[in-house]
């Protein structure tokens, strides 16, 4: 790799020339610049602001694993997102993050998740009963509802009313829309503040916190246990024996709503679109699920034995990673492969590009679930659907269990038909599907 002073620079004029297209979808612009400049280039987006775009996996591993203590998350996560969802695992840094991670991690161990599997399956099957058969529909709203209600069921069992669920979902989605506007149109920041839009959405966040506070207070006063995530979080203790204070608990729950439903909804939608286009893999999952069902109805057995289903999900997240970029800022000056980066350099690693890099993957644009027949660990140095290193997504096992149940159950009951030509994407905070039109037919 080159000395940092010789890294290709994409001038602001090119950025401005393509600003409208970038606003809608920046990925084609990124791909063009990677193709022209190699695996690392610098983009000027202001008179003083520069962002280093990278698809070099060795550099990403260095930042996320080998020297992760010298890197922090960007302002987008620690300030812009946190003002709506609070200071939880996703948005905090340093010792505060390490303390919270150590406290919460046991709630997401596989043996604890075992207790939640029936709640997860119940939420999924309940949503599938609402599927309109024989109609062409945009399926993303369905899987968005499914993922949200799965998180609610796993967190609160039956403690949240339908009104609570609808309101929490509305607030979560409205605040995300507002955040996207702020990030994509920073020049309108003065207007968002002056018009009261930001205050309106901050009030939404406060309303969500009050709903959650009521649910938590009711659980505490009930004296009952449900072995859900709320019980696990209430049971969690720091090294000094103390529990999370109420404000911290509420912030962590809000983070679980944000991170726990959106990425799963995206991944499920892309997976079913791919299955609709590849009927042979639908049939393989159906045969696998039929075989497992003959032996046992136990949900953990289904999760652990659905190897074909897992391969399909892994390949789907390779092609369409819900978290499609990772951004970091170095705290002190740092060097990698002869390049020296000044403190506070903005680094953006494109998982979308890494997961389709022609030097890393056989037929990178092709849907080939069989490449994961030996498991995803074979590709651990180039495959990052849940991140990597100490800050790898704490809910990765929860998400995989949920998706395996959701995919295997739907394919077992229904045939999926495609009603689109190409899979369309909408890169926002996460990689969202667009115009995901499918139809479902009950199996005989």
CA 211, 153, 242, 85 torsion: positive or negative?
negative
CA atoms of 96 and 92, how far apart (whole Å): 7
Q: 17 in a domain, yes or no?
A: yes
Residue 18: phi and psi, rounded to 5, are -110, 15
pLDDT digits (tens, 9 = 90+) for 279-332: 999 999 999 999 999 999 899 999 999 999 999 999 999 999 999 999 999 999
Express each pLDDT in 167-184 by its tens digit: 998 998 899 889 888 877
Q: Would 332 be classed as within a structural domain?
A: yes
Q: Give a yes or no: residue 15 inside a domain.
A: yes
3-class DSSP assignment, residue 425: strand
User: 442, 133 in Cβ contact below 8 A?
Assistant: yes
The owner of tokens 């009603």 is 419
Is the model's pLDDT at 193 over the cut of 70? yes
DSSP 3-state of 417: strand
| 390 domain-assigned | no
337 occurs within a structural domain: yes
pLDDT at 142 over 50: yes
Nearest residue to 100 via CA among 424, 361, 391, 309: 391
Quickly tell me which residue has 């109805």 as its tokens: 297
Identify whether 35 is part of a domain.
yes
59 lies in which domain range? 1-78+324-361
Furthest C-alpha separation in the chain: 65
> Is it the case that residue 436 has pLDDT exceeding 80?
yes
**For the segment 401-425, what is each residue's pLDDT rounded down to a tens digit?**
999 999 999 999 999 999 888 999 9
CA 268-389-315 angle, 5° bins: 30
Rounded to a whole number of angstroms, the CA Rg of the chain reads: 22
% of the chain with per-residue pLDDT over 90: 75
346 φ, ψ to 5°?
-90, 115
Confirm if 2 and 31 have CB atoms less than 8 A apart: no
* Domain contains 7: yes
- Measured CA to CA in angstroms, residue 90 lies from 97, 239, 253, 259, 297 at distances of 9, 22, 11, 8, 35
Assigned domain for 421 exists = no
pLDDT at 46 exceeding the cut of 80? no
pLDDT tens sequence across 337-350: 888 999 999 999 99
Percent of the chain with pLDDT over 70: 98
Q: What is the CATH number of the domain that holds 38?
A: 3.30.43.20
Total of domains in the chain: 1
Relative to beta strand 424-427, strand 40-44 is: unpaired
């Amino acid at each position: 790799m080159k000395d940092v002073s010789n890294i290709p620079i994409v001038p602001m004029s090119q950025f401005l020339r393509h600003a409208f297209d970038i606003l809608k979808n920046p990925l084609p612009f990124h791909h063009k610049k990677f193709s022209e400049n190699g695996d690392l280039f610098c983009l000027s987006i202001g008179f003083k602001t520069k962002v280093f775009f990278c698809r070099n996996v060795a550099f990403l591993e260095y930042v996320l694993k080998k020297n992760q203590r010298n890197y922090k998350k960007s302002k987008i996560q620690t300030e812009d997102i946190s003002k709506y969802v609070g200071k939880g695992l996703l948005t905090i840094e340093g010792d505060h993050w390490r303390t919270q991670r150590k406290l919460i991690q046991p709630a997401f161990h596989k043996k604890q998740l075992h207790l939640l599997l029936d709640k997860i399956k119940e939420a999924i099957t309940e949503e599938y009963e609402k599927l309109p058969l024989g109609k062409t529909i945009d399926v993303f709203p369905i899987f968005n509802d499914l993922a949200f209600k799965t998180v609610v069921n796993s967190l609160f069992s039956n403690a949240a009313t339908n009104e609570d669920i609808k309101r929490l979902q509305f607030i979560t989605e409205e605040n995300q829309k507002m955040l996207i506007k702020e990030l994509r149109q920073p020049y309108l920041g003065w207007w968002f503040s002056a018009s009261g839009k930001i205050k309106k959405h901050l009030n939404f966040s406060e309303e969500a916190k009050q709903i959650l506070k009521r649910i938590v207070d009711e659980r505490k006063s009930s004296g009952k246990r449900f072995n859900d995530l709320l019980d696990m979080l209430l049971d969690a203790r720091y090294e000094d024996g103390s529990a999370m204070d109420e404000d911290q608990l509420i912030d962590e729950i809000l983070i679980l709503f944000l991170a726990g439903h959106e990425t799963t909804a995206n991944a499920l939608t892309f997976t079913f679109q791919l299955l609709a286009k590849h009927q042979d893999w639908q049939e393989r999952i159906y045969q696998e699920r039929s075989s497992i069902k003959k032996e046992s109805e136990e949900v953990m057995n289904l999760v652990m034995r659905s190897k074909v289903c897992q391969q399909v999900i892994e390949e789907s997240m390779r092609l369409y990673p819900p978290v499609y970029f990772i951004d970091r800022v170095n705290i002190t000056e740092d060097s990698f492969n002869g390049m020296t980066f000044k403190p506070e350099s903005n680094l953006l690693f494109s998982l979308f590009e890494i997961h389709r890099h022609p030097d890393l993957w056989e037929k990178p644009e092709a849907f080939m679930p069989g490449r994961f027949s030996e498991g995803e660990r074979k590709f651990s140095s180039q495959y990052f659907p849940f991140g990597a290193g100490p800050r790898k997504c704490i809910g990765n096992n929860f998400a995989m269990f949920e998706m395996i149940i959701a995919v295997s159950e739907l394919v077992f009951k229904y045939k999926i038909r495609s009603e689109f030509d190409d899979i369309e994407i909408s890169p926002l905070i996460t990689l969202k599907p667009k115009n995901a039109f499918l139809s479902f037919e009950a199996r005989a």
